[in-house]
Amino acid sequence: MRGAGYRFPVRSALLIGLVALAAAGCRRSVWPGPEATRQALISLRADVRARVLAGELARADGFAYAVDIGELLRVAARIRDRPLYDALRAFARDRLIVDEPDDPFTRGFVIWRRAPEPAPGDDAPDASGTTEALRVSEGLWEGAAAFGIPEDRELSVRILDGYARHASEAAGLLLIRNYFNFRSRDFATNSFLVDYAPDHVAEVARATDRADLAALAAGSYEMVRVARTPAGLLYDVFQPEMATLYDDERTLIHSPRDIVQTSNAAAIAATALAGAPEVADRILRFCRDRMPGLRLSYYGRTGEEAREKRPGVEIWGTLTEMSVRQRDEASLRAFAPFLVTNATTDRIPRDAFLYVAAHLLQGLEALDRYFGTPRAPDGGLPPPVGRR
């Protein structure tokens, strides 16, 4: 890491490693049906809503994480919960999105984490986040459409413009540099595959008729396809500096010791469903074929188990939403029972509660739409208990 005596944690590795917090085991269940799905969605939504509206956004380390906020913005937009959306949006604008007139280069950057309130002394941002920028941009884009807020659409595009300034080229591939260090004014030299979300970039490119964003999306789709492992998973890291040691470009995209986490592979594939559905199909098939004993980690080349540990419960949200969107009935019936049974507050780790709950809610919302359970005319859920 760069900077005089200053070290950043590997930012996306925190996102990637969250599964370890929630992997204590997963309950089995029978096919849930619409009533159980709706009840799980309403119950978990109520808990998340109460925490957010009370300002309880920080994890145990005292920081609120932009990836949590971005994922929940998408949930709020999809279930048409305007108070929840407004609270998240206000925090993102006030504390996470950089828009300093005297520093136009960083305009639209998203800070990867920040204390909920300014602290005495140095409250300056430390580093941007690219995965975080994508999730916040997606959340605002969906919110702008759901609630008719044109300024959120504009802000979503501004964030993508900031995200695009993290882009470079290496080994003939698109390199989204993992973060920008505000103190040293340097970019990271590596990238994680979760730093790419081609479907969102492509959608914004079409809506705004932006050729530069279309090119960015095309490069992102190529990266996702190149990252496929022989066994059907997706590698995690793009490390172009390794080109000085190896003449095979395939070695630049890898996972340490060839160990791939299923939750990461699913999360990456979910960002490329529209433009690279074949990637998602392989991930769904890989995971479905290993049910009900799906593990957290497998070897990318062979597909053999790398560890006996189970994945965190958030994976059931991702896999269920992917199955619904891909209209993959076999996968849906494999994953949805685990989603509904595990989407309870006691199954979610305290520290990563908002992050994990957001993924579970996205899966529940998709499953609820699949069942076609009636909603309010605007597509929203019934109001929380006690609210009139």
The CATH number of residue 151's host domain is 1.50.10.10
What tens digit of pLDDT does each residue of 26-42 get?
A: 555 689 999 999 999 99
Number of domains in the chain: 1
The answer to whether position 380 is within a domain reads no
Q: What is the mean pLDDT of residues 285-312?
A: 97
The domain containing residue 101 runs over which residues? 11-371
388 in a structural domain: no
| 5 located within any domain | no
Q: Which residues, other chains included, contact 259 with Cβ-Cβ below 8 Å and sequence gap of 6+?
A: 297, 298, 299, 300, 306, 307
Residue 249 has pLDDT above 70, yes or no: no
CB atoms inside a 10 Å sphere around CB 55:
12
Q: Are 201 and 275 in contact (CB under 8 A)?
A: no
Q: Is residue 1 situated within a structural domain?
A: no
Residue 384 lies in a domain: no
pLDDT tens digits, 42-74? 999 999 999 999 999 999 999 999 999 999 999
Domain membership of residue 149 (yes or no) is yes
Tell me 258's DSSP state.
Answer: G
| 100-152 tens-digit pLDDT | 889 999 999 999 999 999 877 778 899 999 999 999 999 999 999 999 999 99
Q: How far is 9 from 14, CA to CA, in rounded Å?
A: 8
Judge whether residue 158 has pLDDT over 60.
yes
Stretch (H or E) spanning 341:
helix 329-342
Task: Provide the 10 A C-beta neighbour count for residue 4.
Answer: 6
pLDDT in tens, 213-245: 999 999 999 999 999 999 999 999 999 876 555
The answer to whether position 62 is within a domain reads: yes
Any domain includes 273: yes
Nearest to 130 by CA among 158, 111, 105, 156: 111
